[in-house]
Amino acid sequence: MSIPPIVDITIGLVLVYLVLSLLSTSINEAIAGFLRLRGKVLFHEINKILDDAQVRDGFWASGLMRSFSRQSTAQHISAKTAPSYVEAHLFSKALVSTLAKTGDAKGQKPSELLQGLGKGTGLEDVLKQIALDADNTLELFHSGIEVWFDAVMDRASGVYKRHLTVVSGLSAAIIVVMADADTLEISKSIWQDDALRQAVVEKAQAVLSNATVSETGAVPTVDATALSNTFSTLMPHPLGWSGNGCITTACLGDYDLQDWLAKAFGWILSTLAVMLGAPFWFDRLQQLVPLRTSGPLRGAPTHQNASPHGTP
């Protein structure tokens, strides 16, 4: 049965997006780690809810929190040294311990612990409501704080994802421009070159056959050799600036305004595609390649519990 060229072109584009997305994911993780985005977001979100300065300082100075700091010997935790993650029950223990040492707090009942809180703060309002719902029992008070903290962390997760989206967009754009990954030009090249079209399909099959998928929904792991061979097929054409030293005035002088607008549009399409992430394009490749090979791909990974999903 004759396979329409559009199927091969689509497979080629998806393969390019997958390869660039994997590269973008690695860069995003490196940048997020270098900037300590998770720790900074956690630190600022906790500071928002602990709007009593005395409680806030005492909380971060507690031995429990300092033990999870990037510098456990530091007397004070900052945004740069804050832990990347705090479990709800540990937050509750550290907060209650801090309340017991704050101001006029007397005893261990929630109502007694709250006596040392500053008046008129959002923290006071929240903890009083939690204590009321807990019937002034310490165990239920801890549980209420944990539920509240989980809700706060859901919001923090959204903040982190927004920051990561910005990082992902910038890294994707840089990768696309450096690789000259112009969606329009890539499509044209695969359409016109039968040998390239066949090679791209073969590399897509190789990538799938040598990939592993985590059950936790992480980014798929692709064999380094398969990736290297894929890059060799795609570069210097349709990926890459054609010819050595192309980024010169003489070379770029051949581009008129219409050419640059078309290329910019192709770059934008590629950038948006890369931002969708490697898991997305891996799933699409798994759906498309069997259409080309007329049956399930031997050795292709299967999703047992979940499809790989995640941030670039």
- What's the pLDDT tens digit per position in 35-63? 899 999 999 999 999 998 889 999 998 88
Give the list of residues 6+ apart from residue 183 with CB closer than 8 angstroms, or none. Answer: 13, 266, 267, 269, 270, 273
Domain ranges of the chain: 5-34+166-293, 37-158
Please list, residue by residue across 211-240, b when 16 or more beta carbons sit within 10 angstroms of its beta carbon and e when fewer do: bebbeeeebbebeeebbebbeebbeebbbe
CB contact at 8 A, 231 and 222: no
Q: What is the pLDDT of residues 49-99, one digit of tens each?
A: 999 888 999 999 888 888 888 765 556 788 888 888 899 999 999 999 988
Whole-angstrom Cα distance, residue 206 to residue 196? 15
Tokens, residue 83: 């832990």
Percent of residues, the chain, with pLDDT higher than 70: 80
Q: What is the pLDDT of residue 73?
A: 57
Q: What is the pLDDT of residues 104-144, one digit of tens each?
A: 555 678 888 888 787 888 999 999 999 999 998 999 999 99
pTM, whole model, 2 decimals?
0.74
